């Protein structure tokens, strides 16, 4: 019986030489393995892991993505510059969880020392869910409007915006009770963020590519009282050195009705004003019981901070 031998194709030979470490569209991987393979392929500019499945980037069209992406990045950057405790980023790999490593077009995040959900690991990757994510997609059938929507919801991205360029539409979702609900525009057609005070989006201007009008609306939001209040809160907190993550605070600083010797510990952010409910009952078993105070900079002024008791006493008090 004759045996026919065929030489492997160049592509197949290259895969064999490199071993099973390539990223392939549709492969099922863990976040760790995905990042390992991604790092070994510097020629790949965009790859994402969504719900354990690898998605490779495709060629980018100027009208559907390149120019819209530039306009939305300008909008994000313009908001970020005068806003304390907030950073913007573009096309950055994010480790959301064991099965999700997206690379969104744009994002806004609150710094961890200001109560944000993210931090940067030793390799420079962002860990955790940014408070705001933006994607530029072709249509409602795209990955951004379907699989990634579910991924961002699971991870706890508080607001998610998708600009569907082929559909000539914008979707802005906000996370409420673990579900995404559409953000409703005002009578003037402007969408206003619930997480970032002063982040205003003129939808008509965005869809028309009218950068001048888009920036004018944003500047109006930045000049408004909500954004100004955020700056006052940060400035006041900076004047009190005790308001730092992990810092122990006296009960008098927050007006807590506790026995002498009780202290609060700020574990979330150093930029929140003392809006704690002094009337809230806080049971303690020992006079030295400590209070952990979860402080979040960007809560609306009407919301209150959270208090819970912990067993450890304030050290050295």
Please count the other Cβ atoms lying within 10 Å of the Cβ belonging to residue 256: 22
In a domain, 248, yes or no: yes
User: At residue 308, what are phi and psi to the nearest 5 degrees?
Assistant: -145, 150
Residue 275 confidence (pLDDT):
32
**Which of 223, 256, 284 lies at the terminal end of a domain, its last residue?**
223
Nearest one of 143, 145, 193 to 171, comparing CA atoms: 145
One domain for residues 167 and 73: yes
Residue 56 confidence (pLDDT):
86
Could you give the CA distance from residue 6 to residue 114 in angstroms, rounded to a whole number?
A: 62
**Which of 176, 196, 223 lies at the terminal end of a domain, its last residue?**
223
In a domain, 108, yes or no: yes
The structural domain count of the chain equals 3
One domain for residues 210 and 76: yes
One domain for residues 216 and 74: yes
One domain for residues 249 and 114: no
Q: Which residues, given as ranges, of the chain have pLDDT below 70?
A: 1-20, 140-141, 231-317
Residue 174 confidence (pLDDT):
96
Residue 10 confidence (pLDDT):
52
Residue 15 confidence (pLDDT):
46
One domain for residues 210 and 85: yes
CATH of residue 197: 3.90.1570.10
Per-residue pLDDT tens for 261-276?
Answer: 333 333 333 333 333 3
In a domain, 141, yes or no: yes
CB 64 within 8 A of CB 166: yes
In a domain, 8, yes or no: no
Residue 239 confidence (pLDDT):
43
One domain for residues 91 and 32: no
Residue 138 confidence (pLDDT):
78
One domain for residues 293 and 259: yes
CB 94 within 8 A of CB 79: no
CB 90 within 8 A of CB 73: yes
Nearest one of 169, 191, 163 to 72, comparing CA atoms: 163
In a domain, 2, yes or no: no
In a domain, 277, yes or no: yes
Residue 60 confidence (pLDDT):
83
In a domain, 9, yes or no: no
One domain for residues 159 and 301: no
Residues linked to residue 180 through DSSP beta bridges, in sequence order: 175
User: At residue 93, what are phi and psi to the nearest 5 degrees?
Assistant: -75, 130
Residue 226 confidence (pLDDT):
87
In a domain, 12, yes or no: no
Could you give the CA distance from residue 170 to residue 163 in angstroms, rounded to a whole number?
A: 5
One domain for residues 153 and 187: yes
Nearest one of 63, 64, 68 to 209, comparing CA atoms: 68
One domain for residues 199 and 75: yes
Per-residue pLDDT tens for 73-102?
Answer: 999 999 999 999 999 999 999 999 999 999
One domain for residues 219 and 309: no
Could you give the CA distance from residue 35 to residue 95 in angstroms, rounded to a whole number?
A: 9
One domain for residues 94 and 217: yes
- What is the extent of the structural domain holding 247? 240-313
């Amino acid at each position: 019986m004759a045996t026919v031998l065929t030489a492997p194709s160049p592509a197949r030979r290259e895969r064999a030489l490199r071993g099973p470490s390539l990223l392939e569209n549709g492969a099922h991987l863990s976040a760790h393995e995905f990042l390992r393979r991604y790092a070994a392929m510097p020629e790949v500019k965009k790859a994402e892991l969504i719900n354990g499945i690898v998605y490779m980037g495709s060629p980018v069209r100027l009208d559907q993505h390149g120019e819209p992406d530039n306009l939305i990045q300008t909008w994000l950057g313009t908001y970020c510059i005068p806003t304390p405790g907030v950073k913007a980023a573009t096309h950055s790999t994010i480790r959301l969880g064991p099965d999700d490593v997206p690379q969104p077009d744009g994002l806004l995040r609150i710094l961890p020392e200001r109560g944000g959900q993210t931090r940067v690991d030793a390799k420079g990757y962002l860990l955790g869910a940014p408070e705001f994510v933006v994607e530029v997609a072709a249509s409602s059938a795209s990955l951004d409007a379907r699989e990634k929507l579910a991924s961002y919801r699971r991870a706890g991205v508080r607001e998610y915006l998708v600009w569907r360029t082929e559909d000539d539409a914008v979707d802005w979702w906000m996370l409420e009770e673990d579900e995404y609900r559409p953000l409703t525009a005002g009578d003037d057609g402007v969408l206003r963020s619930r997480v970032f005070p002063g982040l205003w989006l003129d939808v008509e201007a965005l869809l028309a590519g009218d950068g001048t009008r888009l920036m004018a609306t944003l500047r109006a939001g930045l000049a408004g009282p909500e954004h100004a209040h955020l700056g006052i809160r940060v400035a006041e907190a900076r004047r009190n050195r005790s308001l730092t993550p992990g810092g122990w605070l006296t009960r008098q600083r927050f007006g807590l009705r506790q026995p002498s010797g009780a202290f609060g510990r700020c574990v979330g952010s150093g930029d929140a004003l003392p809006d704690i409910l002094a009337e809230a009952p806080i049971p303690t078993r020992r006079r030295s019981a400590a209070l952990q105070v979860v402080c979040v900079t960007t809560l609306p002024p009407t919301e209150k901070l959270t208090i819970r008791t912990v067993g450890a006493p304030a050290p050295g008090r």
